[in-house]
């Protein structure tokens, strides 16, 4: 009886097996790296330090400090802008750190043996 497609005896060819091991190793590295980033804190300030925001790698705001000097009842919009600027900068730092970490991990992945 003739064989139909598939791998010989269900075994995975050597190159494919190596690629699967490499992908599993990379997945573990990415999970560890993600955990590391999520535990880090990123801080940024605005208005010359009048407002400071701290976020985690999970992009959760954990601390917001506003100097008394930044509070001007006649100019609430400026305070709002400083708060948004500080938070957005801290979030951008977290995102950049995550991107750099993932880029570093994925750069070691050799995809040259793939058929596509």
Query: What is the rounded average pLDDT of the residues 42-69?
Result: 96
Q: Which of 60, 95, 64, 63 is nearest to 79 (CA)?
A: 64
Return d(Cα 63, Cα 30) in angstroms, integer.
Answer: 27
Tens of pLDDT, residue by residue over 15-25, are 888 888 888 88
Phi, psi (deg, nearest 5) at residue 58: -80, 0
Starting at the earlier edge strand, list the strands of the sheet with 51-56.
Answer: 41-46, 51-56, 61-66
| Dihedral sign (CA 106, 108, 114, 116) | positive
Over residues 78-89, the mean pLDDT reads 96
pTM above 0.85, yes or no: no
Residues 81-96 have a mean pLDDT of 96
23-54 pLDDT tens trace: 888 888 888 888 989 999 999 999 999 999 99
């Amino acid at each position: 009886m003739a064989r139909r497609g598939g791998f010989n005896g269900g075994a995975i060819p050597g190159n494919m097996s190596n690629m699967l091991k490499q992908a599993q190793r990379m997945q573990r590295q990415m999970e560890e790296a993600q955990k590391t980033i999520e535990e880090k804190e990123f801080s940024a300030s605005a208005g010359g330090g009048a407002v400071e925001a701290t976020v985690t790698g999970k992009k959760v705001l954990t601390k917001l400090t506003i100097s008394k000097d930044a509070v001007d009842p006649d100019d609430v919009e400026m305070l709002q802008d400083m708060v948004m600027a500080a938070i957005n900068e801290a979030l951008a730092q977290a995102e950049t750190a995550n991107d750099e970490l993932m880029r570093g991990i994925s750069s070691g992945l050799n995809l040259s043996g793939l058929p596509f």
